[in-house]
Amino acid sequence: MTLCEEIRRRRTFAIISHPDAGKTTLTEKLLLYGGAIQTAGSVKGKQSARHAVSDWMELEKQRGISITSSVMQFEYDGFCINILDTPGHQDFSEDTYRTLMAADSVVMVIDAAKGIEPQTRKLFKVTAMRHIPIFTFINKLDRDARDPFELLDQLEKEFGIGTYPVNWPIGSGIDFKGVFDREKRQILAFGDMHKGQMKLDSVKCDITDTAKLDEIIGEYSRKELVDQIELLDGASFEFDLEEVRKGKLTPVFFGSALTNFGVQPFLENFLKMTTEPLVRTTSSGEITPEDEHFSAFVFKIQANMNKAHRDRMTFMRICSGKFERDKEYFHVQSGKSLRLSQPQQLMADSRQIINEAYAGDIIGVFDPGIFSIGDTVCDKAKKVQFEGIPTFAPEHFAVIEHKDSLKRKQFVKGVQQIAQEGAIQIFHEPNTGMERVIVGVVGVLQFEVLEYRLKNEYGVEVIRNNMPYQFIRWIKTPGVDVKALNLTSDTKWVQDFKGNDLLIFSSEWNINWALEKNSGLKLQEFSKE
């Protein structure tokens, strides 16, 4: 295959949802169709001893939630598919945000009974900012669900986006009979087979075949369906692929990921509708995927994915050209050349050494400590730099100290490595070192993950004392004497480990006080370094 042919068959997308909407279950069923796994694991372990493939961290398996994003690649029907499974829990939204930067389209999973939930709203807004295609899978039709017209109306009103139902549900819960395929004008009848462990062969029946329809779904359901389809055909948005690819129209699919119903039709339609790898923006202009010069950016760093090796893995999204193992590339931020000798294709925590990869692919490379989130790696013959990935300002703060003074070295290493991943931000009070670290996080559950990882990955137990602060600002006034600033008693001066001065506040009132009482003081919510 030529370079262009390889790139054009790539499809790279993220899956987002509110917790417990069925995102990880849908991910596993997609992997099942691609032959990447043989048996789907139960997310909460109720029906199977296996855990979800995409949940690799031990704490994820214990809690039954996704804490960190996972990367999975598989082949299906001539396509090379890269799935980015993201945390649904709001406390890990920053990891999800970074992952969305690496995706070309998004699959939004919605619980049919609950509709749009808070975390779905937040993630949709991030997705909409990039104007990338959004596909909606309304899940759990095998349980009692809200009226499908009501669900579509909610999507349109809350997100300001058009909807096009590709299929239509026939009942829900114990009355769920299947779906109507609007393009094929056929019924796919539902059967609760094998608890979703095997592919489901559905019975097909044309909507005009009244006798057979009555036999399959019953006269009442048949009459209701005919009325709904007539209304849908007359009043809903027309399908427009260009509008889909601009992120203005979302194709909607109804199904049940747990019972494997509607997943294969979703996958096949999605692959037809979604885009090839997208054009990316650099500091010197746009770069196309087919550009023969390799370029990529770092969107995720993860330490200790493999306990046996205690290594650090950097995830890169390839934006243009072809990556070749052992070829020398240029790391823009350090200004140095480097050779990536063991590039890996990933399946959650499983790895396979590869010799080449193409625009659209996600690769993992071993990181000796030189990479940061947002870094660019590119061909030496054509140097480019991608726009950085902004970070969320932390909203919760705590002091952590190691219990055992003999574990200081492990404590310092653990805190620094986890901070470099972007999961936490670390600060200290001026003239103090790493004995007593101030940790800032977006969500409080991140503290629990930090403590768990320090204990299990670095052998360090810590003491945590929460702090009464909610806001942080970088001081951007050149040459300011921070000690001379007029601040409230519940405002604290801290520094990051690059030596930058910051203030943390307990309320917005304290921020306004600092600005009013200190003429010329400039504060910034995000660090742009």
Q: What is the model's pLDDT at position 87?
A: 63
Can you give the CATH number for the domain in which 81 is found?
3.40.50.300
DSSP category for residue 256? B
At 421 the pLDDT is 76
In a shared domain, residues 115 and 185: yes
DSSP 148: H
Q: Is the dihedral of CA 514, 518, 524, 527 positive or negative?
A: negative
Phi/psi class of residue 4: alpha, beta or left (left: φ > 0; alpha: ψ in -120 to 50)?
alpha
Question: Residue 231: its pLDDT value, please?
Answer: 92
Q: What is the DSSP letter of 261?
A: B
User: 3: part of which helix (H) or strand (E)?
Assistant: helix 3-8
346 and 239, same structural domain?
no
Please report the DSSP string for 15-76 in residue order.
EEESTTSSHHHHHHHHHHHTTS-SSPPPTTSSS-SPPPTT--SHHHHHHTS--S-EEEEEEE
**Tell me, what's the pLDDT at 269?**
95
Tokens 């042919």 correspond to 5
Identify whether residues 125 and 185 lie together within a single domain.
yes
Do 419 and 485 lie in one domain? The reply is yes
- Domain end position, chosen among 318, 349, 378: 378
* Paired strand residues for 328: 339
Shared-domain flag, residues 306 and 362 = yes
Residue 154 placed within a domain: yes
Hey, which bits of 115-271 come out as E strands? 134-139, 162-165, 167-170, 178-181, 186-189, 204-206, 249-254
The whole-number pLDDT of residue 93 equals 57
Q: Who's near 340: CB < 8 A, 6+ residues apart?
A: 323, 325, 326, 327, 329, 365, 377
Distance, CA of 267 to CA of 83 (rounded, Å): 12
pLDDT at 488: 94
Q: Find out whether 200 and 212 touch, Cβ atoms under 8 Å.
A: no
CA distances from residue 213 to 149, 184, 383 in whole angstroms, order as listed: 22, 15, 62
pLDDT at 61: 47
CATH of the domain at 508: 3.30.70.3280
3-class state of residue 193 by DSSP: coil
Instruction: Determine the pLDDT at residue 122.
Output: 72
From CA 64, how far away is CA 69, in angstroms rounded? 14
Q: What angle do CA 473, 479, 483 make, to 5 degrees?
A: 65
Helices (H) and strands (E) in the chain, counts: 13, 31
Same domain, 368 and 304: yes
113 and 230 both lie in a single domain:
yes
Q: In 3D, which of 263, 273, 107, 76 has the Cα closest to residue 179?
A: 263
Q: How many domains does the chain have?
A: 3
Q: Is residue 141 part of a domain?
A: yes
329 and 243 fall within a common domain: no
| pLDDT of res. 197 | 44
Residue 471 sits in which domain range?
Answer: 396-524
Indicate whether 100 belongs to any domain. no
DSSP three-state, residue 201: coil
Retrieve residue 473's tokens: 């600002």
DSSP reduced 3-state for 286 = strand
Q: What is the pLDDT along the chain (529 residues), one digit of tens a residue?
A: 899 999 999 999 999 888 788 888 898 888 888 776 655 553 333 343 344 444 434 544 454 444 344 678 889 999 999 998 776 445 445 677 778 889 999 999 999 999 988 767 777 877 887 788 999 999 999 999 999 999 999 999 989 999 999 999 999 998 898 899 999 888 888 865 534 444 455 667 778 888 988 888 889 999 999 999 999 988 889 999 999 999 999 999 999 998 888 999 999 999 999 999 999 999 989 999 999 999 999 998 876 655 555 677 889 999 999 999 999 999 999 999 999 878 888 665 567 889 999 999 999 898 887 888 889 999 999 999 998 776 767 889 999 999 998 999 999 988 888 887 777 889 999 877 667 899 998 778 778 888 988 898 889 999 999 999 999 999 999 889 999 999 999 999 999 878 889 999 999 999 999 999 999 999 988 665 4
What Rg, from alpha-carbon coordinates, does the chain have?
25
Q: Confirm whether 390 is domain-assigned.
A: no
Of 250, 273, 296, which one is at a domain's C-terminal end?
273
What is the reported pLDDT for 40? Answer: 52
Q: Is residue 337 part of a domain?
A: yes
Let me know whether 312 and 247 are in one domain: no
The reply to whether 449 falls in a domain is: yes
Nearest residue to 180 (alpha-carbon basis) of 133, 234, 217 = 217
* CA quadruple 207, 210, 215, 218: dihedral sign: positive
- Which of 325, 347, 378 is the endpoint of a domain? 378
Residues 91 and 72: their CA atoms lie apart, in Å, by 23
Give backbone dihedrals phi and psi of 172, rounded to 5 degrees, phi first.
Answer: -160, 170
- Cβ neighbours of 218 (radius 10 Å): 15
- CATH number at 298 reads 2.40.30.10
* Residue entry with tokens 């007539």: 230
Do 405 and 367 lie in one domain? The reply is no
Name which of 198, 207, 218, 348 is nearest 261 in CA terms: 198
One-letter amino acid identity for 369? G
Do 291 and 253 share a structural domain?
no
Considering the domain boundaries, does residue 5 fall inside one? no
CB atoms closer than 10 angstroms to residue 334: 12
Residues 161 and 476: their CA atoms lie apart, in Å, by 39
- 99 found inside a domain: no
3-state SS record for 79-130: EEEEEEECCCCHHHHHHHHHHHCCCCEEEEEEECCCECCHHHHHHHHHHHHC
Predicted confidence at residue 59, as pLDDT, reads 47
pLDDT of res. 166: 97
Orientation angle between helical segments 263-273 and 23-33, nearest 10 degrees: 80
CA 184/CA 163 separation, integer angstroms: 19
230 and 112 in one domain?
yes
* Residue 185 burial (C-beta neighbours within 10 Å; 0-12, 13-18, 19+): exposed
